[in-house]
Structure 1
């Protein structure tokens, strides 16, 4: 295996970096066994197809929060306008997306208040003790992301308020690694989380560059926790072209 000057793995052929499929094809367990064709297909299917509802939920709730809080929306729009200044088109490159730091904070705060997947289930593979309780192998555990993200002990007294600054780089350094888990956590976390987050930022940035987003008056929005966090009567916002 070869490495570039920044320590990134290269494939043996040429200088192409390892992509997602390369990693699956070259992965080996401690016994040097690779993934079967069915296992590789399952991972690819998960990456490409399983994120549609969750990403749509994240985009919808983010737009709802920004419409509800126009001050934050204006700040995001200013950031997007600066990034797109001087471009002949509205295409965002990977380098552009990395510059949308305040938008990323707003998206993360929306996912805290309205996590796309409110509950994650895991099955234990061995017996172990958890806070004085013996859990046998094969037990199913439910991790309630919604409750964690709305826990006063974790997020403070104003945990129900929309406060993107909680995800500033300074605050992120002080945050417990398991306080914010919209994509689950640990070795079985979402393999597409970076892709999903960047997809959300691109869609929202393109919308806010062209439109002002406002709430529809008298339309009550209330979340309902299903496999994906949805709104009981849907989320309705108005897209007003910028002058």
Structure 2
């Protein structure tokens, strides 16, 4: 048991050292350049924003706060994004008509190109793929629940919850609630059309949480999923394995107890 604890702590130290090296190298680079060089840049990247951010009193983030955010961005997104992509591929294999619509959209965007490499301007053109990804995250919930702690007393329906109370938000339950979603157990990408999204409640669909503590990497995750799924669907056809049905394991990250087995063939 102690050996396992030591191994975990050793691996945590390694992970933290990677993040700290990234932070320290960027801080050194910022310290050695003229302030005008940073302000003149059209866009600041994620780490620049963390290192230069100040509150209303001119106080910046601590090294630990910055490291926590970098850890989240570097490592937290891998499992969740992999889960989302895996389950979306499963749904595309299950619903061949939806897979063909995704392929048709890709062919339209990539028409007359020598490669299937997506350009930055292509990402926003993949509207149907975006609907499929959102429906996949609603239906399969890569993160099925999150926890929060009240920082002050909170009243809900006449009952007061004191500061310090921990609460769990069941996203899987919310995303399959019949009072919120029509036909919640069916896979319907069109429910995320621009017209339908405009009529949704802000907290109806929260795969990345919501509010001031929402996922800091949600836009990056969406772009990552679009690019990977676009590459895969454009090159390969996905079909279900008739002898295998994945069994969901609702944990911190949605997994399958018995894997996700698909049949893949070149297009």
TM-score between the two structures when normalised by the length of structure 1:
0.92
Q: Would you say 1:199 and 2:229 are equivalent positions? A: no
Partners of 1:94 and 1:60 lie apart in 2 by 24
Q: Would you say 1:239 and 2:256 are equivalent positions? A: no
Map of 1:221 onto structure 2: 246
The CA deviation string for residues 130-181 of structure 1, in whole angstroms up to 9 with x for no partner, is: 122111111101000000000000002x110000000000000000010000
Any unmatched runs of 5+ in structure 1? 1-9
Could you say what secondary structure the match of 1:238 adopts?
Answer: strand
* Superposed displacement of residue 11, structure 1: 6.7
The match for 1:98 among 117, 124, 135 is 124
Moved more, 12-21 or 62-71: 12-21
Map of 1:172 onto structure 2: 197
RMSD over aligned CA atoms reads 1.4
The match for 1:43 among 56, 69, 77 is 69
Could you say what secondary structure the match of 1:203 adopts?
Answer: helix
The CA deviation string for residues 35-58 of structure 1, in whole angstroms up to 9 with x for no partner, is: 112211221121121101000000
Partners of 2:151 and 2:54 lie apart in 1 by 20
Could you say what secondary structure the match of 1:202 adopts?
Answer: helix
Moved more, 222-231 or 13-22: 13-22
Map of 2:51 onto structure 1: 25
For residues 115-130 of structure 1, the aligned pairs below 5 Å read 115-130=141-156
Partners of 1:12 and 1:107 lie apart in 2 by 35
Map of 1:190 onto structure 2: 215
Map of 1:142 onto structure 2: 168
The CA deviation string for residues 173-227 of structure 1, in whole angstroms up to 9 with x for no partner, is: 0000100000000000000001011111111100111111000112012211011
Partners of 2:44 and 2:37 lie apart in 1 by 6
Q: Would you say 1:109 and 2:132 are equivalent positions? A: no
Partners of 1:195 and 1:66 lie apart in 2 by 22
* Superposed displacement of residue 123, structure 1: 0.7
Partners of 1:136 and 1:14 lie apart in 2 by 46
Distance 1:105 1:137, change over 3 A: same
Partners of 1:48 and 1:93 lie apart in 2 by 23
Partners of 2:144 and 2:37 lie apart in 1 by 38
